[in-house]
Structure 1
Amino acid sequence: MSSKRRVTNSLPRAIKAIRDVRALSQEDFSLVSSRTYMSTVERGLKSPTLGKLEQIASVMQIHPLTLLVLTYASSASPNAAAEMFDIVQRDVEQLWPRERKV
């Protein structure tokens, strides 16, 4: 299975899993989207924008990165989240130095 397909399938599963853990119904997202929209996202028929992911995460009371980590970690090893954090931290340090030269 390609990486793109894995992520495309994992995002809907991550959203549904978090919604289930938080005991949220699709109707609980009515301030940010319709039940129909949430259903199509959870079935993988629509891909939310970053802005919409932020709104969905807000309703779930999680950071949007948590949703992305669970999306990418769901098809990897049990230590995937810790490994991803290490990679992300290294990338950020390389791309956004602490002391920026002006």
Structure 2
Amino acid sequence: MPSRKRVPPQADFGRALQQLRAARGLVQEDMLLATSRRHISRIEQGHQVPSIRIIEVLAAQMQIHPLTLVAAAYCSDLNGASVNELLKTIKVDFKGIVSDSV
């Protein structure tokens, strides 16, 4: 089982939101269906943590799955190696929770 020491202790949701938003070519004003520009700015600066509902709406506006947005918060960089390492950890976690008979 992979060591938990490799998993960052805290998600950097704001950084992930900024990176994914920019990758989609969106500005904060494009996300206003989710919440106010001030709230988005505070989330991106790390001053506020969004609710699940806000995460769902933000993800919908970027046309990605909400789990993609959350998972990106746990990747130190949005590159292949970082994403693959996180996916390996998640796979091991689910293997320990879900039986193969399901």
TM range (shorter): 0.7 to 0.9
Residue 59 of structure 1: how far off its partner (Å): 0.6
- 1:31-75 deviations in Å (ceiling 9; x for gaps): 221111111111111100222112111111111222222211126
**Residues of 2 paired with 1:17 and 1:39: CA distance?**
13
State percent identity of aligned pairs.
31
What is the CA-CA distance between 1:76 and the residue it aligns to?
A: 9.5
* CA distance in 2: counterparts of 1:76 and 1:43, whole angstroms: 18
The one-letter code of the counterpart of 2:101 is E
Aligned structure 1 segments of 4 or more residues deviating by more than 4 angstroms: 75-78
Could you tell me how far apart the structure 1 residues matched to 2:13 and 2:62 are? 14
Q: Report the equivalent of 2:97.
A: 95
- Give the C-alpha shift of residue 99 in structure 1: 2.3
SS at match of 1:39: helix
Q: Distance in 2 between matches of 1:25 and 1:77?
A: 21
- Structure with greater proportional helix content: 1
Query: Runs of 5+ in structure 2 lacking a partner?
Result: 1-7
Partner residue, 1:61: 63
Unpaired stretches in structure 1, ≥5 consecutive residues: none
For the Cα contact (< 8 Å) 2:13–2:70, is it kept in 1? yes
Aligned length: 95
RMSD between aligned residues = 2.3
Q: 1:24 to 1:78 in 2, by over 3 A?
A: closer
